[in-house]
Amino acid sequence: MNRLHQAAILSHKPMGRGYYRIVLKAPEMASSALPGQFVMVRVSDTLDPLLARPFGISSVLSKTSLEILYRVVGRGTALLAGRDRGQTLGLLGPLGKGFPLPDKKTTPVLVAGGSGFPPLHFLAQRVGSGAHLFLGSRDKESLPPTAIVKSFRDACAKVHIATEDGSAGTKGMTTDILNAFLTKMEKKSPLVLYACGPHAMLAAVGRIAAEHSIPCYVSMEERMACGLGACMGCSIPMKSGGYKRACKEGPVFDSRDIDWSERVSVKIQGSEFKVRR
Ligand SMILES: Cc1cc2nc3c(=O)[nH]c(=O)nc-3n(C[C@H](O)[C@H](O)[C@H](O)COP(=O)(O)OP(=O)(O)OC[C@H]3O[C@@H](n4cnc5c(N)ncnc54)[C@H](O)[C@@H]3O)c2cc1C
Ligand code: FES
């Protein structure tokens, strides 16, 4: 399958809370993309910046178009925010392995922290209305844009919100309300967890899943240079020893396979890498 595409920007608008929604015409990708897969986006028409940026696919809107939701955090995303409808973007994708989909008897439980919600948005649309979504953030302003929360409410059985300062939903950590929910629900139906967000949250969700003996799949949004398995920059330590590449063997992994021991960031020639302490 050809994975290199020039995609026309069909729509590109700010959504509030620092996020943008971009709709791209990409027929080949739209027909084959799976929830949890990602695309490498060239944010400018020049070689500056040299590296494309990875983004999860947040929705397939039609046979020919797909959606990306992104937050401006640095130079690459700021350049992307300046691209207009009618222009084209160089894309590579769909890349990586997506979330394994649940069978009909299993209740999917989705957990999104920080800006980890886009791939779960696509998953929520695919798994049907039985899903439960847990959203967690520091405060109300750090939650996904209101329109996206509404879209999750339309797709899921229930959206559960926790904020650390109590400005929206339950005061506290997502993992607290998740734990209580799993204890109640596990007696009623088989469950499967899907999570995307900060490393510490994923580690905690993986721990809770193991305590409840529930399968758990996490999407690891490591920093990526090539997106193709060549540079090893996105390597993740595995419990069995050795490393797997988030871009090639992931970004979705069974949480039981990951070595969650604490990792620290080091900078080598200006690039950030995660290594074990
Ligand atoms: C598989 C995958 C899917 C992703 N999906 C989305 C998505 O759907 N929506 C979205 O908004 N973002 C997503 N990201 C993160 C996105 O790729 C980065 O925010 C983007 O590359 C930042 O580029 P920049 O040049 O603006 O920022 P930079 O200037 O490169 O960095 C700015 C700041 O952001 C931090 N940062 C950059 N990349 C990451 C990362 N991967 N993880 C954690 N912190 C990072 C840097 O450490 C720095 O503090 C995804 C990342 C991966 C690997
Ligand atoms: S980003 Fe290069 S190997 Fe994954």
| Dist CA 107 CA 185 (whole Å) | 9
The CATH topology of domain 99-216 is Rossmann fold (3.40.50)
Residue 79 CA, closest ligand 1 atom number = 26
Domain 4-95, CATH among 3.10.20.30, 3.40.50.170, 2.40.30.10, 3.30.565.10? 2.40.30.10
| Dist CA 244 CA 238 (whole Å) | 7
Measured in Å, residue 245 CA sits from the centre of ligand 2 at 6
- Angle between helices 118-127 and 146-155 in degrees, nearest 10: 20
The residues, any chain, with a CB within 8 Å of residue 164's CB and separated by 6 or more, are 137, 138, 139, 171, 172, 173
pTM: 0.93
Residue type, 140: K
Q: How high is the pLDDT of residue 266? A: 56
Strand order from edge to edge, sheet including 252-254: 170-171, 158-163, 132-137, 107-113, 191-196, 216-219, 252-254
Up-side HSE of residue 146: CA atoms within 13 Å toward CB? 3
Residue 234 CA, closest ligand 2 atom number = 4
Q: Atom 40 (ligand 1): residue with closest C-alpha?
A: 223
Helix (H) or strand (E) segment spanning residue 178: helix 174-185
- Domain map (residue ranges) of the chain: 4-95, 99-216, 220-277
The residues, any chain, with a CB within 8 Å of residue 9's CB and separated by 6 or more, are 22, 23, 24, 83, 84, 85, 86, 87, 88, 89
Q: How high is the pLDDT of residue 277? A: 45
Contact 89, 40 (CB under 8 A): no
Q: How high is the pLDDT of residue 92? A: 95
The residues, any chain, with a CB within 8 Å of residue 216's CB and separated by 6 or more, are 192, 193, 194, 195, 205, 206, 209, 210, 254, 255, 256
Distances (CA, A) of 115 to 7, 56, 86, 138: 24, 11, 27, 11
Q: How high is the pLDDT of residue 1? A: 72
Measured in Å, residue 223 CA sits from the centre of ligand 1 at 7
Helix (H) or strand (E) segment spanning residue 179: helix 174-185
What is the three-state SS of 88-126? EEEEEEEECECCCCCCCCCEEEEEEECCCCHHHHHHHHH
Q: How high is the pLDDT of residue 131? A: 96
Q: How high is the pLDDT of residue 134? A: 97
Residue 231 CA, closest ligand 2 atom number = 2
Would you give per-residue pLDDT tens digits along the chain (277 residues)?
Answer: 778 889 999 999 999 999 999 999 999 999 999 999 999 999 998 888 999 999 999 999 999 999 999 999 999 999 999 999 999 999 999 999 999 999 999 999 999 998 899 999 999 999 988 999 999 999 999 999 999 999 999 999 999 999 999 999 999 999 999 999 999 988 888 999 999 999 999 999 999 999 999 999 999 999 999 999 999 999 999 999 999 999 999 999 999 999 998 665 555 555 555 555 4
Q: How high is the pLDDT of residue 28? A: 93
Residue 83 Cβ inside 6 Å of ligand 1? The answer reads no
